[in-house]
Amino acid sequence: MRFLHTADWHVGKNLNGFDLLADQQAVFKQIEGIAKERQVDAVVIAGDLYDRSIPSEAAVRQLNGELVQLNLTDHFPVLAISGNHDSATRLGTGASWFAKEGLYLNTSLDDAFDPVTIGDTEFFLLPYFGIQAVRNHFGDDAIRDVNTAITRIVAAMQEHFTPGKHHVLVAHFFAAGSQHTADSETLIEVGGLQAVATTTLAPFDYVALGHLHNRDALHDDRVRYSGSPMKFSVSEANQEKGVWIIDTDPFTAEWVPLAPVHDIHRLTGAFADLVADDYHPRDDFYDIELTDHERIPDVLNKLREHYPKIVSLHRTHAARQIDTNHARARRQQSPTDLLADFYQQTMGIDLTDTQLKWASDALSAVNDGEEE
């Protein structure tokens, strides 16, 4: 059997205020195209279908339309779970009807142990869970960490394994050994979940993970993140996005990249060079770092004439936190030396001789005034 593994669609997410729905729909069409072209037997979506527990009506309409297309129009079986960004209750509404048409959407830990069988493979759909749900399920308050929880869950799933079938786990958590860099996943959530040791997952032929947006966050042949289908933060600017095509017999995993509609770029340079640059596509998203020292009036609006979709703007030589130690030593410095130190610490460069002269003259004038 062959299936497509994707995750972290975050339908309805915005990027620093920019609506991504149209881009998300375009990327969905690419995923649908890959599923058709590769003639997969199922599509796996490993959690975070929505970006928020109460998505906007526009987001609800779009995800509903996408699932109608995949499942009812294209007739793909779809295997999906809720992630930490989804409301299990809201996302799970209607799931009893969906399953009758082959859209298996599980949002409840209690329903994770009864696999969905498609072809030669049993799929176990494990939604994002809290430790308390695991304690409740097993009636065991001694379960206190995620690895104990996962060990118990996997053992219970193994009891339902049909020999001779392949076994795939679809899950949404932070796997140990993975590198976490993206800021579009909430660090608290990652920390709160702790890290699942991949050795615990060995009974499965494949583990289709969601949660981290970078497929390179983990390197394990049989335990993979698909990552998000598009970039959702500046920290993901250099990541390649795509989906996995998994074959179960023999096992192969093939990466199929997805093309961004509007890419995210990090640009570093002087204002004059950036506004003269006609290489970068106007409608992409930009994180811009200005190397200029001077104040540039109305700089954001001026940059927007060339880069309408700036998601963040910073300066290499931004005013920095000053060193507030050594107060005693400072009292012995002259006012001009103090000013020169302050300027150097906050701006990262020294005052020029001319600037020093201005400062010195101004201080003298003030002192003269005091003596009048």
Which chain residues interact with a second copy by CB under 8 A?
54, 57, 60-61, 64, 68, 71-72, 87, 89-90, 92-94, 96-98, 100-101, 103
Residue among 90 and 317 whose Cβ is closer to a second copy = 90
Residue among 65 and 335 whose Cβ is closer to a second copy = 65
Shortest separation between residue 68's beta carbon and a second copy, angstroms: 5
Q: Kindly list the distances between the CA atom of residue 323 and the CA atoms of 210, 250, 339, 341, 347, in Å, as whole numbers in the listed order.
A: 43, 61, 13, 10, 13
Question: Which residue reads 């931004």 in tokens?
Answer: 318
**Measuring CA to CA, which residue among 286, 245, 246, 243 is closest to residue 263?**
286
DSSP 239: P
d(CA 234, CA 240): 13
Residue among 83 and 242 whose Cβ is closer to a second copy = 83
Shortest separation between residue 20's beta carbon and a second copy, angstroms: 19
Shortest separation between residue 56's beta carbon and a second copy, angstroms: 9
Q: Do residues 211 and 172 touch, judged by C-beta distance below 8 A? A: yes
**Measuring CA to CA, which residue among 218, 220, 217, 240 is closest to residue 230?**
240
Separation of first and last alpha carbons in the chain: 93
Residue among 98 and 124 whose Cβ is closer to a second copy = 98
Q: 278: left (phi > 0), else alpha (psi -120 to 50), else beta? A: alpha
Shortest separation between residue 345's beta carbon and a second copy, angstroms: 50
Q: How far is CA 192 from the centre of its chain?
A: 17
Shortest separation between residue 97's beta carbon and a second copy, angstroms: 4
Non-local (6+) Cβ contacts of 360 within 8 A are 336
Tokens of 108: 């409840």
d(CA 152, CA 308): 51
Shortest separation between residue 273's beta carbon and a second copy, angstroms: 46
Cβ count within 10 A of residue 102: 17
> Residue type for 99, please?
A
Characterize the bridge pairing of strands 242-248 and 2-6.
antiparallel
Shortest separation between residue 107's beta carbon and a second copy, angstroms: 11
Q: Do residues 27 and 230 touch, judged by C-beta distance below 8 A? A: yes
Shortest separation between residue 49's beta carbon and a second copy, angstroms: 12
d(CA 135, CA 81): 20
Residue among 101 and 183 whose Cβ is closer to a second copy = 101
d(CA 309, CA 262): 10
Residue among 89 and 179 whose Cβ is closer to a second copy = 89
Residue among 57 and 298 whose Cβ is closer to a second copy = 57
Shortest separation between residue 106's beta carbon and a second copy, angstroms: 15
Residue among 72 and 319 whose Cβ is closer to a second copy = 72
Residue among 71 and 226 whose Cβ is closer to a second copy = 71
